[in-house]
Structure 1
Amino acid sequence: MTVPARSLRLLTLSDRYRSDQKDVVANFYVPALSAATSYSRAVGYFTSTSLALFARGIEAFAERGGTMRLVASPHLDENDIIDIERGYDVRQVMERATIRELDAEQPEAVLDGLGILGRLIAQERLDIKLAFVEQQGRIGIYHEKIGTFRDAVGDLVSFTGSSNETYGGLIANFESIEVYRGWVAGDGTRALRLEADFQALWSNQTPNLSVEPFPEVARDRLVKLASERPKASLPGRDDALTPPQVVATEPARLAIPEWLTVRDYQRNAVASWLRHQGRGILKMATGTGKTKTAMIAASQLAHALRQREEPLIVLVLAPLQHLVDQWVTEIESFGVRPVAVYESSQKWLHTVEDQLNEARLGQRPIVAMVATNASFASARFQSVLTRISQPLLIIADEAHNLGSSTYRSALPLNATYRLALSATPERWFDDEGTDALIEYFGPIVFELGLGEAIEMGALCRYLYLPRLIELNDYETQLYVDLTSQIAKRLAAGDSLKDTDSDSPIGFLLRQRAGILGHAEGKLTQFRSDLQARRESWFQLVYCAQGRRPTEPGDPPGANQLQDVMNLVGNQLHLSAHSYISQTQRTERKHLLRRFGSGDDLRVLVAMRCLDEGVDIPDARLGYLLASSSNPREFIQRRGRLLRRADGKDRAEILDYLAVPPEGTPINFEVERALLRREFERANEFGKLSENYERTIETLRPLKERYQLMDM
C-alpha cells in the first residue's frame, strides 16, 4: 500500500504524552492535524483561546478539505450554573455562554483563529454540538475528553486524557493523554471503541447526556467574523501559542450597593448586633427592611473578616421557597450570587461543596447560601454544615419558625455569628420554643415597633374598620355546642393555650375558629364594602381556610375562597385572581407583577398566603375575612398593607369579627375568655390606627356585654 506524503502512519507518535516529558500541543495535536483529513473531538469545554493554539495545524487542515466535529460544553461560569439550577432554560443559558466567549476581547492571534473557524463552518467542514448532563433533574457539565483523527487512507488515531481545549488545559496545566494507533497491535480495538463512543455521542444516543446543535446566533457570529478577518498565513507564527494576557478580576464580595440609602435605625440595629459579638435578634415591624438590615450587617462583618484575610460563609434560612427566591435577588444586589438550597440536593450540593472548598483554599472570600427550613434540616445539608470550619453567619428570616423541636435541634453549633429576624420572635403559646431561640441566637438587641415605624415614616398610616357580624341560627347552634364541649375540657384541666390540633381541646378550638371565620354574614358585609370601593386598585382579601363547618352527616360546607372569587369576579365583575399555597412559584411572580401594575389585576384573594415575607408594597386595601387570634398572623397581614410605595400615604384595613347574637344561651365565663382573644386583635389593630376612637365605639357594646371594658 502506498502511503500518502501526509499520513498519520508516518508520524512519530508516542502511546502517551505527559507534561513533564513532552509538549502535548507541539508534539501531538499540531502534527496530527497536519496529517489528518477528519478530526472528531469531545471535550469538557471549548474556548476561543484554544483556536490560537491550533492555528498552525488548522490552516493546512482547512486547505486540504479536512472536516471537524466538536462536542463540548460551553465554558459556564458560576452565574450560568446558578441560573440553570434556578430553572432558566438550559439551552438559552448555553447560548448566552457561547456568545459571551465569542464577544470577549481577544488578541489578534485568537481572532485569526476564530476567523478560520468561521470559514470552516461556512464551508461546511466544521460542525459543533453542545453537550450537558441531564440526569434525575440535575444539570451537569460534560467532562469527558476523547478524540479521533482519520487520514485519507482511513488510518485511525484515537486518544483520551485530561486535557481540555483551552490554554490552561493544553499548555499551563500539568496534563497527560493516552494515544491508540489503529494499525498497532493491541491499540486497534481501543481506538475503534473510542471512535464508537464519539459516534454515539454525536448522534445523541448516550444515556444521561443531551447533545444539542450549536446555537445559530453563535454560528452566524463566527461566519461574519470570517468575512471580516483577512485570510492570515498562520504557519510558523510563534505568537499563536502565546496566551492572551490574563486580567486579574477581584473575587465577588459583599458590599452595600451605592443606590441604597441606609436608614439611621438600620445603622443602629447593625451597630447593636455587632456590639453583642455578632449575635442577637432584630425585632422589627413587618415592612421596615429587616432583609436589607441583615445584608448590611453581613457586609460589615465580611469587610472586617477580609482585613484578617478570612472568608465568610453566609447561610440564610427562610420558611418558604418563594422567600428563598426573594433573598437570592436581595443578596445579588449586594454583589454576590448565592446558591438556592431547596428541592433535590442534586440541584445544589455540587455547587455548594465546590464553593466551600474554594473558601477553604482561600480562593473565595464569600460563600452565600439561602435554604428553606426543610432543606436546611435535611440530613444531606446537615452533613455539609458540620464540615464548615470557616466563620459561619446564620441569618434566620421569620426566625420564630425555627423554634419547633425539629428545627431548633438542627441549628449548627459551629456558627460563630447568628442573626435572627422577626416582627414577632415570641412563639404563640410556646415559651419553651421562644426560650430556645433566645438561647441560640442571643437576646433582642434592637427593637423597632410598629408605632415608631409609622411615626418615622418607615411605614404608612392606616385606618382600621372592624365589622361586627352576627352568626346565623345554624352557625349559632354549632357554636353553642362547641363552646359547651370546650367548657367541659377546661373543667377537666385542659388549657386554652393548647393549640395543638391533635389535642382534644385544640381540635375544638379550631372548629370554633372555623365557624367564626366562615360566618355567612361576612360575605354580605364584604360585598357591601367592596362595592363601595370597586374603583380602587391594590386590594387584598384574606379568606378562611377549608370549608364552612357543618353538623356530622350534613353535606360539606361552602368554600369561602370560591364564594369570594364568585362574588368579586362574576357578580361585581372586578378583575381578581386567587393566590393560594397550590399556586406555582412562577405564577405567583406573574400575579404579583400584574397586581403591582395598577391597571390589570384589581383584587388578590388569598388563603394561607401573602403572609410571611411576600413583598407587595402597593397593597392599600385589606379585607380580613379569616378569623385569627394568633398575633403573628394578623401582625404579618397588617404589615403587608403598611409598606411604603409611590403614591401611597395611607392603607385601609377592614376586619370582620363574628360573634353569637345577644341572648345566646352560652357558658358566660368560657365565652368571655374566648372573646377576649378576639378583642386583643382588634385592640392591637386599632390602637395605632388614625381612627382608634371609631374602633372603641364599635366594640363598646360587646365589651359591655362580656364585661371586658378593662381592655
Structure 2
Amino acid sequence: SIDVYRSWIAGEEDRVAVKAAQFDEAWDDGAAGLSVLPPTAETLLRLKERSPGKRPVPAPAPDEAEKPAEAPDPRWRHQEEAIAAFMADPAGILEMATGTGKTRTAIRILTQLVAEKKIETAVITMDGTDLLDQWADELSAWNTAGGPGWLIYRHYERFHEISDYALDTRGSLILISRGQLPKLLKRLSPGVKSKALIVHDEVHGLGTPGSVANLAGQHQAFGFRLGLSATPERAYDDAGNAFVAAELGPVLFRFPLEAAISRGVLSEFDYLPLPYELTDDDRERLKAVYARQAARARTAKPMSKEEVWTELSKVYKTAEMKPAVFEELLAKDASLLKRCIIFVETKEYGERILELVHRHTHLYRTYYAEDDRAHLVDFANGEIDCLITCHRISQGIDIRSLSTVVLFASARAQLETIQRIGRCLRFDPDRPDKRALVVDFVRPANPDDTHENADQQRFVWLSALSTVRKGDSHGS
C-alpha cells in the first residue's frame, strides 16, 4: 500500500510521526505479530552485486552550483575536438591513446545527444567484466550528477537484465558484453535503433571471427554509431578491419601516444630494455613446434600460419633466461616493484616470477582469470605494491598511481603493448611530475637473421617513444 501525506493540511505531521514510530518499532523487531530477520549473507552479496561501485554523488547545492565554472584545461581539448568530429559525422571511430579519456568523451557525446533529443536509448558494449564494471561506475556517477536520470541495465557475467531493457528501451541504456550483443540486437526494432546510440569500446574486439559471423549488418540501422580504441586496427586481419569499418564507419579522430605525452595528458617514461638469449631448452621447444607443423602438414588439418606464429611466440614470451635477468635487475634496485604491474604469458610462468618478487617484498598478489577481483582493488587502493598478471588487466583499468610496467610478454602487434604501457602513463594529480618506467626483454639479433625479430621491432618503437617530452611538436 502507499500512504500519502499532505503538508498543507493540519494534523498531517502527527500522522507522519506515528508512521515513522511504527516503522522504527517494526524495524527493531518490536511489533506484535511481526518478526524482522536480518538479511542472510547471500542476500547481502546480491545487494552488493547490484549496488553502484562508488557512493552516488548528490547534485551540488544551489550556492555551489552558482559558482563560476573553472576554465577548461587546454591539455584536454582533444576531447572537444573528438566530440566535434563525431557530431559532424555520427558514424565512426575515435582513436585515442590509453588514458586520454575515451570513456569521458563518449559519455559527453551521450549527454549531448540526449540534451538535443536525438536519441531515446543507448547500447554500450565491450569485452571484459572489469571494463564493463568501470563503465557502470562512470555511468552511475553521470546519472546522479546532473544526468538525465535514465535507467541503467546490465547484461554480463552476474547481471541478466536484457529482457527488462528490451521491454521498454526509452529513457534507458544497457551495458552488455559483446558476446551477448547478437541476442539483444535481434530484439530491437529498426525504429528503436534509429533513435539510439551504440558504443563499442575497445572496438578492435568487434572484428573477431565470431562477431563477423553474428553481427554482420546489425549496426546500420542505428542512428549513431561510435567506436573507441587506442588502436582500432587488428594486426594481420584485413577482413576484421574491413568489417569494423563497414559496421561502424571510418576513423574520425586520432590522438596518439606521442601527442598525449607531448601535451602533458600522459606522463613521460623511461625505457629499460633487458637483453636475453635463448637456452638450449628454448631451442628444443622451437624445434618441437616445427616438428608438429611438419607432422600436421601430412594430415587433413595442417597448422595455419597463425597457429605456428602463436606457438613460436609463446616460446619467446616464456624464455627461460628472462627470470634470471630480472633477478639481476632487482638485486640492483628492488624499488621498481613499488606500484608495479608485471605482465606474464601464463600463470605457470608467473609462478617463477613470484619466487623472485617474494625475496624483495611481501606486498604482492596475482591477478589471473580465476583470482579474486579483490586483489585488483587492493592494488588500486595502494594496499599492495606489485601485481603479477596476464592479459586480463591490459585494457580499461585506471590506476593513476602506477609507476612501472614490466613486460615479460608482449605481442608483436602494438595494440597490446600500447594498452599495457598505458597503465603506467596515466597522469597522477598527486604526482604531477611523475615519470614512468617500462621494463622490457629484448632478444638481440643473430647474424643469420634476415629481418628484425618482434623484440627488436618493439625496442625501436618504444625507444623512440620514450624520447618524447612535454612541449614537443607531435601534432599536439
Tell me the TM-score normalized by structure 2: 0.78
Paired residue type of 1:399: V
Contact residue 615 and residue 640 of structure 1 kept, 8 A: yes
Query: What is aligned with 1:656?
Result: 441
Query: What is aligned with 1:368?
Result: 173
Among 613, 616, 631, the alignment partner of 2:396 is 613
| SS of 1:111 mapped into structure 2 | helix
Contact residue 386 and residue 412 of structure 1 kept, 8 A: no
Among 111, 118, 134, the alignment partner of 1:299 is 111
In the aligned structure 2, how far is the partner of 1:116 from the partner of 1:691? 67
* Structure 1 unaligned blocks of 5 or more: 1-45, 53-105, 133-138, 141-257, 360-365, 493-500, 547-558, 693-711
Query: What is aligned with 2:204?
Result: 400
- CA change 1:131–1:369 in 2 (3 A) is farther
Query: What is aligned with 1:565?
Result: 354
Query: What is aligned with 2:314?
Result: 514
In the aligned structure 2, how far is the partner of 1:681 from the partner of 1:503? 27
- CA change 1:125–1:451 in 2 (3 A) is same
After TM superposition, the runs of 4+ consecutive aligned structure 1 residues lying more than 4 A away are 118-124, 128-132, 258-262, 480-486
In the aligned structure 2, how far is the partner of 1:623 from the partner of 1:299? 38
- CA change 1:592–1:297 in 2 (3 A) is same
Q: Report % sequence identity.
A: 23
Contact residue 485 and residue 508 of structure 1 kept, 8 A: no
- CA change 1:115–1:575 in 2 (3 A) is closer
Q: Give yes or no for the alignment of 1:313 onto 2:121.
A: yes
CA RMSD of aligned residues (A): 3.5
Query: What is aligned with 2:246?
Result: 439
Contact residue 234 and residue 241 of structure 2 kept, 8 A: yes
| SS of 1:609 mapped into structure 2 | helix
| SS of 1:288 mapped into structure 2 | coil
In the aligned structure 2, how far is the partner of 1:283 from the partner of 1:655? 25
> Residues 180-230 of structure 1, C-alpha deviation per residue, up to 9 Å, x if partnerless?
xxxxxxxxxxxxxxxxxxxxxxxxxxxxxxxxxxxxxxxxxxxxxxxxxxx
Query: What is aligned with 1:274?
Result: 87
Among 164, 187, 190, the alignment partner of 1:384 is 187
- CA change 1:561–1:112 in 2 (3 A) is closer
Deviation at 1:125, TM superposition (A): 3.7
Query: What is aligned with 1:685?
Result: 462
Contact residue 471 and residue 659 of structure 1 kept, 8 A: no
Which structure carries more relative contact order (alpha carbon 8 Å, separation 6+)?
2
Contact residue 419 and residue 441 of structure 1 kept, 8 A: yes
- CA change 1:124–1:513 in 2 (3 A) is closer
> Residues 101-156 of structure 1, C-alpha deviation per residue, up to 9 Å, x if partnerless?
xxxxx942641551674698698445266999xxxxxx89xxxxxxxxxxxxxxxx
Contact residue 471 and residue 520 of structure 1 kept, 8 A: yes
Matches within 5 A, 1:190-589: 263-276=76-89, 278-305=90-117, 311-335=119-143, 336=149, 338-343=152-157, 347-356=160-169, 359=170, 366-377=171-182, 379=183, 381-386=184-189, 389=192, 391-408=195-212, 409-410=214-215, 411-479=218-286, 482=289, 503-536=303-336, 537-545=338-346, 559-569=348-358, 571-583=359-371, 587-588=372-373
Contact residue 622 and residue 653 of structure 1 kept, 8 A: yes
Tell me the TM-score normalized by structure 1: 0.54
> Residues 411-439 of structure 1, C-alpha deviation per residue, up to 9 Å, x if partnerless?
43321100100111111111111111112
Equivalent residues, number: 420
> Residues 258-316 of structure 1, C-alpha deviation per residue, up to 9 Å, x if partnerless?
8995731100110011111x1111011111111101111111111111xxxx6521111
Among 111, 116, 123, the alignment partner of 2:16 is 111
In the aligned structure 2, how far is the partner of 1:505 from the partner of 1:629? 14
Contact residue 166 and residue 188 of structure 2 kept, 8 A: no
Deviation at 1:447, TM superposition (A): 0.3
In the aligned structure 2, how far is the partner of 1:508 from the partner of 1:403? 21
- CA change 1:311–1:622 in 2 (3 A) is closer
In the aligned structure 1, how far is the partner of 2:152 from the partner of 2:241? 29
In the aligned structure 1, how far is the partner of 2:122 from the partner of 2:351? 42
Contact residue 282 and residue 446 of structure 1 kept, 8 A: yes
Deviation at 1:545, TM superposition (A): 2.5
Deviation at 1:659, TM superposition (A): 5.3
- CA change 1:269–1:302 in 2 (3 A) is same
> Residues 349-404 of structure 1, C-alpha deviation per residue, up to 9 Å, x if partnerless?
35314542xx2xxxxxx312111111213x3x234323752611011100010112
- CA change 1:49–1:279 in 2 (3 A) is same
Query: What is aligned with 2:57?
Result: none
In the aligned structure 2, how far is the partner of 1:119 from the partner of 1:524? 65
In the aligned structure 1, how far is the partner of 2:333 from the partner of 2:233? 36
In the aligned structure 2, how far is the partner of 1:301 from the partner of 1:116? 46
| SS of 1:314 mapped into structure 2 | strand
> Residues 590-641 of structure 1, C-alpha deviation per residue, up to 9 Å, x if partnerless?
333422344x312100122221112222211111111421221111111112
In the aligned structure 2, how far is the partner of 1:596 from the partner of 1:259? 29
- CA change 1:404–1:386 in 2 (3 A) is farther
